[in-house]
A and B are shown apart, each in its own frame.
Chain A
Amino acid sequence: MQILVTGTLLGGTYALIALGLTLQYGAARIMNLANGETLVAACFVAFWLFSRLGVNPILGMVIIAPAALVLNWLIYAWLLRPLVRRAKNRGMLEVDSILATFGLLFLFQGLMLLTFGGAYFNYKFLAEPFSILGTPYALNRVVAFVAGVLVSSLLYLFLYHTRQGAAVRAIAVDPASAQLVAIDVSRTAGFSFALGGALTACGGTLLSTFYTFNASMGVLFTMKALIIVIMGGVGDIRGATLAAFILGLSETAVASLIDPGLTLAATYALFILVLLFRPQGILRRGAA
């Protein structure tokens, strides 16, 4: 039972991070391997805001998310759009964007290492017990979960109930046809990429309230987010959310039942199962 609750709480944060990547890969068609660096950067900013200025991390999101939005939009406009333009096919864009975002990954990671060093950071925010069904859980984890659900719900409302959101969903399905119904594909893709970055940053902010972080852990989270996205089916919002909870649960189960050193093995085991049996995603029907 404890595993179930802890796993679900963790899954909430994972969902947010993976939704960010879903928007970037599913809609903007950029495999962003530097996604985890956005997350780590958000952790550090939240840490700095809290410890220096005493800003509540939940409020901090109000600053961090727009900042990440702008930064990711600039990255898309300056670095990635030229790649989209020169790519002759999807495969070429994939290789180019993978290599370019590797570059960003190392660049940002190097800069953060220079600024903060390799040490682990954490801070005490709402580090008090909160009782669910008689068992105590850290209040910060519960708050992070609730905030994560709120942000995801806002995203859902945006995607399914606004014109701009429909445009994002349209380019995720088929950019060529989206163009025919007068959607500015290039702008919408840039917006999706930026929005994805902002979501990931929200995930990072929430993560920093209960997780010990350091400058070089970004890749690990990118990895997890990627696996969640693939499990959910590329571009599938609901699938990604479900997959995030599955991953949160199985990681927590392996960590507490077998060995905390084997969480990645658990992630990979899921990944392999999905690749072998449902490469199109857990919720999607088999297509040719």
Chain B
Amino acid sequence: MTGIHRDEMLGLICGGVALALLSLLPLLTEGFYLSFGVNLVLYAALSTAWSLFSGPTRFVSLASAAFFGIGTYSVALWLDALPFVVLIAIAALASAALAALIGAATLRLSGVYFVIFTLGLTELIRQIVSWSQSRFAHKMGLYVFTDFTEGDLYWMLLALTAATFSVGWLINRSRLGFALRIIGDDETVARHVGIATARAKIVLFMISGAFAGIAGAIMAPRYAYIEPQAAFNPMISFMVVIMALLGGTRRLWGPLVGVVPFTVVMELIAARFPNESLIVVGIAFLAIVYVLPSGVTGRIECLRERLRRSLGTGVDAPGCGKIEGRA
């Protein structure tokens, strides 16, 4: 809230070094490892963007795939007419607009309505896009040919992740971030201290959605041929939720802790046993609820706190994980 903390300074330096090291990847390798790297950074961006909104508000959003698809289509539709940078801006604006619509319809109400609304949203948009394509364009897909290499996409996604982080950090320090923490704690109190809760949530959801849309836009050249079935893939939403919650949403970097192992696991399984991958997703959700309710980072912090307290004062610390819930 005031000035820059020593911890934050340390985080900034670590982040900078990590970013520099990671950006070397395309220079060192290509093919499988680079393409895996792209997936990794993509999910890092998406799940960080997700937890910008869902972390503090605890509204489980399943709209990531819808934003992603909108971003992809923004590029595919106007690639020949407009420069790529403009397309990215369009992707961000279109996604933010969609987020505003979803928010206006559901965020005044309880979290359940929001989850349900976003649950079918990707499928809804896919149906509408398919329908309008076959009706008005008489074709199913769109070609996206660009000069971007896999390395370029990797760098763009890495920059996007860094941008998501910076914005997240700025929000956390701002009144908006504080308002959201209050809302997450007690919405009634939030309103009684003068926070327009619905508006705050909508604004944050728009920011989060815009980043997911940009991620979709950047990924568009990779698909070369874009059709609704591939661009609007609901699994993306679920993967993002799992990774973010597995890592923990209390800290900005929490989701990253979940992204790496889960991307590896899914990469290994999805290629060989596509049906089993659903079971893994199911088990991951159950594990989040029953074993790691505040994610890996939450668990670590809790254990550290307990250790510190028992060393310092000898007072019993509250239990970690299971009993506490996602507090």
Task: Give yes or no for direct A-B contact (beta carbon below 8 Å).
Answer: yes
B325, A87: Cβ atoms under 8 Å? yes
Q: Which one of A96, A223, A275 lies within 8 Å of B289 (CB-CB)?
A: A96
Q: Is B283 at the interface (CB under 8 A from chain A)?
A: yes
Report the Cα distance A135→B167, complex, angstroms: 62
Complexed CA–CA distance, A226 and B112 (Å) = 10
Q: Please tell me if the beta carbons of B124 and A264 are within 8 angstroms of each other in the complex.
A: yes
In the complex, the chain A residue whose C-beta lies closest to that of B128 is A265
Provide the B270-302 mask, 1 if CB < 8 A to any CB of A, else 0. Answer: 000001111111111111111001000000000
CB contact under 8 A between A264 and B127, given known A99-B245, A109-B278 = yes
Question: Within 8 Å CB of B289, what residues of A?
Answer: 83, 96, 99-100, 103
A268: nearest chain-B partner, CB-CB = B124
Segment 221-265 of A: residues with Cβ below 8 Å from B? 222-223, 226-227, 230, 259, 261-262, 264-265
In the complex, the answer to whether A94 meets B279 with C-beta atoms within 8 Å is no
Q: Check A111 for interface membership: any CB of B closer than 8 A.
A: yes
Of the listed stretches B13-21, B115-123, B171-179, B307-315, name the one at the interface; the rest are far from the partner chain.
B115-123
Residue of A nearest to B115 (CB): A98
Interface residues of B in 105-121 (CB under 8 A from A): 105-106, 109-113, 115-117, 119-120
Contact A91 B286 (CB under 8 A): no
With a CB–CB cut-off of 8 A, which chain A residues contact B127?
A: 261-262, 264-265
Q: How far is the CA of A261 from the CA of B140 in the complex (A)?
A: 14
Report whether A223 and B120 are in contact in the complex, using a CB–CB cutoff of 8 Å.
yes
Q: Which residues of B contact A262 (CB under 8 A)?
A: 127-128, 131
Question: B106, B109, B275, B276 — which one has the most chain A CB atoms within 10 A of its CB?
Answer: B275
Q: Given A264-B124, A275-B109, are A107 and B116 neighbors across the interface (CB < 8 Å)? A: no
Question: In the assembled complex, which residues on chain B have CB atoms less than 8 Å from the CB atom of A138?
Answer: none
Contacting residues, chain B, for A166 (C-beta < 8 A): none
State whether B60 touches A271 (Cβ < 8 A). Answer: no
| A113 in contact (CB, < 8 A) | yes
B84 at the interface (CB under 8 A from A): no
Residues 103 to 134 of chain A near chain B (Cβ within 8 Å): 103-111, 113-114
Q: In the complex, what residues of B have CB within 8 A of residue A92's CB? A: 325-326
B290 to chain A, nearest CB (A): 8
Residue A102 interfacial (CB < 8 Å): yes
Q: What is the minimal beta-carbon distance from A137 to any residue of chain B, in angstroms? A: 27
Chain A interface category by residue count? 35 or more
The reply to whether B282 and A107 form a contact with Cβ atoms under 8 Å apart is: yes
Residue of B nearest to A219 (CB): B119
CB neighbours of A106 from chain B (8 A)? 238, 278-279, 281-282, 285
With both beta carbons as reference points, the residue of chain A lying nearest to B58 in the complex is identified as A95
Which B residue sits closest to A109, measured CB to CB?
B278
A31 to B119, CA, bound (A): 13
CA distance A174 to B58 in the complex (A): 25
Q: Which residue of B lies closest to A275 (CB)?
A: B105
Q: Is the CB of B283 within 8 A of A265?
A: no
Q: Does B323 contact A (CB under 8 A)?
A: yes
> Which of B115, B131, B275, B286 is A100 in contact with, Cβ under 8 Å?
B286
On A, residues with C-beta under 8 Å from B are 31, 33, 79, 82-83, 86-88, 91-92, 94-96, 98-100, 102-111, 113-114, 219-220, 222-223, 226-227, 230, 259, 261-262, 264-265, 267-268, 271-272, 275-276, 279
For the complex of A and B, list the 9 residue pairs with the smallest distance between their C-beta atoms, beginning with the closest: A103-B285, A107-B282, A106-B282, A110-B278, A110-B279, A103-B286, A106-B281, A223-B120, A100-B289
A selection of 21 A-B contacts at a CB cut-off of 8 Å is: A31-B112, A33-B119, A86-B322, A91-B58, A95-B60, A98-B60, A99-B289, A104-B282, A106-B285, A108-B282, A110-B281, A114-B276, A219-B119, A226-B116, A226-B119, A261-B127, A261-B130, A262-B128, A265-B128, A267-B120, A272-B105
